[in-house]
Amino acid sequence: MERTILRRRALAACTATVAVGVLALAGLTGSASADPASHLPTPTVAGAEQLSPGLLKAMRRDLGLTASEARDRIGNESRAAAVAAGLRHSLGADFAGARVSGDDAALTVATTDAADTARIRRAGARPVVVEHSLAELDATKAALDRVALRRAPEGIPAWYVDVATNRVVVEAARASAADAFLAAADVPHGVVTVSRSAERPRTFTDLRGGDAYYMNGSGRCSIGFPVKRGSGRSGFVSAGHCGTPGVSTSGYNQQAQGSFQGSTFPGRDYSWVATNTNWTPRALVNGYGNGDVTVTGSTEALEGSSVCRSGSTTGWHCGTVQQRNTSVTYQEGTVSGVTRTNVCAEPGDSGGSFISGSQAQGVTSGGSGNCSQGGTTYFQPVNPALQAYGLTLVTSGTPTDPPTDPTDPPTPGGSWAAGTTYAAGDVVTYGSGSYRCLQAHLAQPGWTPPNVPALWQQL
């Protein structure tokens, strides 16, 4: 199957994407006296009655789940992510990855030390003892990435860390191409599995997530997620290959919209567009007539979790997260740090949103196949894009949104804010108190300092 960048130049006013996300608790550092998983609240997930009928319909079609089963699975996956985040911190260098499986999202956590198995069981997960830590696998993949940044490897469509097999997988059109790639990176074969693949990835180019937009009045992409920068500027994130800084955009209605302020491609595949005051950002994903999806945060879903994509060409399609930390070779060069899924997509879906439940996951980058026969699609995680440009994801708690989520309590004031990345040692105020950050994380709605003693210490 061909893997090349495709740009949709039709002027059909279609709609597309939304959500993205990553819970930066997956990269916890710092210190705490106990496993944080025992203290962390479950990340905010839209209530059963709030989940989009369109999302539930797509999960029924693509994953074979009833509406009730889909709601249960989303809740189970969210809870598993919180437990995995705590274990990643407490296991430290032994941690070798986490994944969920089955409709009940059973959590498996890998470690390189058999002494950790009791702790993993106490947290409610199934332990697996493996040879390589996640840090070792990431380092191996990083060596391959450095070679690819100098020159895209010929005959190597993708490579990624596979937590399930405890290996780095290199997809290759032929064995000689894989051997040359590993040799150039000085990577031992003992950590790598070579998988035969004839795929040729392409991007899907063609202020509600999922709406179409046009670049310089011609090429079409899809909005990923509405964002804000500081107290004044609004806009959205999308794929980097959709445009370069200075390129003007028009909306789904062909009215003047804004321009690209930042764009990275290849290497990564993200961008951000600042819009004029005629466009109001909403924490919504276009539901294609079946009810829009509310975005409540950007908690990273574990490997094996359900994920759905909304795009301006093909609408809603669902599947599962297969591997994070993937590198993929397009005709234009290599893109690293994307997530591999078995969700289908087609030209015009680029930039569109990936969402798990109500949690934004990322923006559509590219892939292979189509939605008639199925395929593989990669998304650029949203949190790195937010951090790169100093942006804040617009969620249901953002003041510019309509009052669609009455369960969000008013903020009592202070410097703490959901959507902000905090490092260990940072000091914030919340209400009348001051708090010191114990573990690096991306603040989520409801994870206020008084409620999460594993993350914040009151001064």
* Residues annotated catalytic, as ranges: 241, 269, 350
Nearby residues of 337 by Cβ (< 8 Å), 6 or more positions away: 268, 325, 326, 327, 380, 381, 384
Cα distance from N-terminal residue to C-terminal residue, the chain: 58
**Strand residue runs (E) in 140-201:** 158-162, 167-172, 192-196
What are the structure tokens assigned to 339, written together?
Answer: 């997530």
Nearby residues of 390 by Cβ (< 8 Å), 6 or more positions away: 229, 230
> Of 201, 205, 204, nearest to 153 (Cα)?
201
Task: Determine the Cα angle at 113 with ends 110 and 115, to 5°.
Answer: 110
Alpha carbons 202 and 6: distance in angstroms, whole number = 7
Nearby residues of 115 by Cβ (< 8 Å), 6 or more positions away: none
Alpha carbons 346 and 352: distance in angstroms, whole number = 11
Alpha carbons 230 and 390: distance in angstroms, whole number = 8
Could you give the 3-state DSSP secondary structure of residue 71? helix
Burial class (CB in 10 A: 0-12, 13-18, 19+), 201: buried
Alpha carbons 329 and 201: distance in angstroms, whole number = 7
Contact 151, 114 (CB under 8 A): no
Alpha carbons 351 and 16: distance in angstroms, whole number = 9
Burial class (CB in 10 A: 0-12, 13-18, 19+), 339: buried
Beta strands 233-238; 212-215: pairing state = unpaired
CA distances from 263 to 35, 46, 99, 279, 389 (A): 38, 31, 31, 21, 9
